[in-house]
Amino acid sequence: MSEPATDPLPDPSIARAQASGSTGSAGGSSHRRLLALIVKEYAQIRRDPSTFLIAFAMPLLLLFLFGYAISLDPRETRVALVVQDDSAPAARLAQAYVHSPYFDVTPLNAVIPARALMEEGAIHGFVVIPPDFGRSVARGAPRPIQIVTDGTQPNQATFIASYAEGVRLNWMASEMAMRAGEARATGMGPPIDVSQRMWFNPGLQSRYFLVPGAIAIVMTMIGTLLTALVVAREWERGTMEALLATPMRMIEFILSKVLPYFLLGMGSMALCTVIAVTAFGLPFRGSIFALFAIAAAFLLPALGLGLFISAGTRNQFVASQVALLASFLPTFLLSGFIFEIGSMPWPIQALTYAVPARYLIPALQTVFMAGDIWPIILPNILIMLGFGLLFFILCFRATRRSLD
């Protein structure tokens, strides 16, 4: 004799949500029902190790990658120095290149060996000090030097040309100062003294803007990629039907999905900030309040976009691909993180205004390197809040209490 069929035991968190909903008002929002949904979401996060890997392991990897492995500062770049003049000014200019921290100099006497080394890839460029350089300096009209770079790597070629020219300009300034000292000794008037100052980043270290950009990438990944999976996961596992059978409201459902990942994003941002300041030596001239205000304002559009993608696709694989295309790539390419927005074509520049990270990165860099400059920070916060309101409106429209 067969036993009677029994219904499977319901999920305890869903049962708690149903029980709390029966005690609360069906027409109003119940704090107990919302708490039960948040507990359920936390239980799902706890059972999924990949969430904690993305929230805490990936930020460490990205920070160390952008802090140590990636650098836009040319240091000890291999170049050759061809000196075709034996005068004292030429020797002083050659020593300026040899002692520059930006170049690893190979001295040569002819151009042909330098060309051969560059064709072999042993060097990335060479500098030629021409004959009669010293006599032209003595006449007050020094001959121009030649700077040849490997154009197969345009960025590196631009760096070499710029820094090689910078070494020459510094040498000219020192020569003028030396001649001015001789002029003062003979009773002539004082020379013009030019003093350069680099504000906020005196050493021009690229990590000072790469690491805040990496924090923006981390917050984008946590805010959009993780939340892009949560609603789709409910549909794939079949638990969405059970949730729709409860008296929950859509605002409670959305809040239960947003709040846990909002806390994860803020915690990851705090961890990244501590590492940036302690391990990488980044200055932090702003306040904790400004930093958390900027992070909270950015997480709203990031979370809203992720939930909108998840509610619209109902498939975790599709949602993850759309999230990468809609959030990670625009943040990496169109936010000013790596590529300067002002150097982009004007149609692409117009497109960057639709990327929320475009307003996050300048605000983060301001807090780290300049301080609480609210005329810069506050407009960016308001724009990010506007994006968040738009995405949550779209999310509410895409999330319905129906199985269609």
User: In this predicted model, what pLDDT tens digit does every residue of 66-89 receive, in sequence order?
Assistant: 777 666 666 778 899 999 888 888
Q: What is the CATH number of domain 77-185?
A: 3.40.1710.10
Spatial strand order in the sheet of 125-129: 103-108, 77-83, 125-129, 146-149
pLDDT for residue 9 is more than 50: no
pLDDT for residue 389 is more than 60: yes
Asked if residues 230 and 307 have their Cβ atoms less than 8 Å apart, the reply is: yes
d(CA 375, CA 362): 12
Which DSSP symbol is given to 151?
Answer: T
pLDDT at 183: 52
Torsion, Cα 375 380 383 389, to 10 degrees, reads -120
Percent of the chain with pLDDT over 70: 83
pLDDT for residue 378 is more than 90: yes
The token pair at 79 is 């170049």
d(CA 76, CA 45): 47
Of 254, 252, 238, 240, the closest CA to residue 26 belongs to 252
CA dihedral sign, ordered 354, 356, 362, 363: positive
Confidence of residue 18 (pLDDT cuts 50, 70, 90): very low
The token pair at 9 is 């035991």
- How far is C-alpha 216 from the geometric centre of its chain's CA atoms? 5
pLDDT for residue 10 is more than 60: no
Of 329, 331, 326, 334, the closest CA to residue 306 belongs to 326
Backbone angles phi, psi at 152, to 5 degrees: -70, -20
Confidence of residue 42 (pLDDT cuts 50, 70, 90): confident
Q: Is 42 exposed, middle or buried (0-12, 13-18, 19+ CB in 10 A)?
A: middle
Mean pLDDT of 93-106: 89
Of 83, 364, 376, the closest CA to residue 219 belongs to 364
Percent of the chain with pLDDT over 90: 22
Of 376, 70, 47, the closest CA to residue 217 belongs to 70
- What stretch(es) of the chain map to CATH 3.40.1710.10? 77-185
pLDDT for residue 4 is more than 50: no
Which DSSP symbol is given to 11?
Answer: P
Contacts of 183 (CB under 8 A, 6+ apart): 189, 191
- Distance between start and end Cα atoms, the chain: 41
Mean pLDDT of 147-164: 83
Q: Which residue has the tokens 């169109």?
A: 334
pLDDT at 351: 93
- How far is C-alpha 188 from the geometric centre of its chain's CA atoms? 53
d(CA 213, CA 362): 9
Confidence of residue 374 (pLDDT cuts 50, 70, 90): very high
pLDDT at 69: 65
Asked if residues 290 and 367 have their Cβ atoms less than 8 Å apart, the reply is: yes
Confidence of residue 176 (pLDDT cuts 50, 70, 90): confident
Mean pLDDT of 2-14: 46
Least confident of 81-90, 130-139, 168-177, 394-403: 394-403
- For the chain, the average pLDDT equals 81
Q: Angle at the Cα of 76 (from 70 to 79), degrees rounded to 5?
A: 120
User: In this predicted model, what pLDDT tens digit does every residue of 325-336 receive, in sequence order?
Assistant: 888 889 988 998
Confidence of residue 302 (pLDDT cuts 50, 70, 90): very high
pLDDT for residue 90 is more than 50: yes
pLDDT at 144: 84
User: In this predicted model, what pLDDT tens digit does every residue of 197-233 receive, in sequence order?
Assistant: 667 776 667 778 788 888 888 888 888 888 888 888 7
pLDDT for residue 375 is more than 60: yes
Q: Which amino acid is at 225?
A: L
- As beta bridge partners, residue 108 has 82
pLDDT at 1: 43
User: In this predicted model, what pLDDT tens digit does every residue of 245-263 receive, in sequence order?
Assistant: 777 788 888 888 888 889 9
Of 279, 101, 284, 276, the closest CA to residue 203 belongs to 101
Confidence of residue 242 (pLDDT cuts 50, 70, 90): confident
pLDDT at 211: 85
Ranked by mean pLDDT, the top range of 291-300, 308-317, 326-335 is 291-300
pLDDT for residue 300 is more than 80: yes
123: left (phi over 0), alpha (psi -120 to 50) or beta: beta
CA atoms within 13 A on the CB side of 149: 18
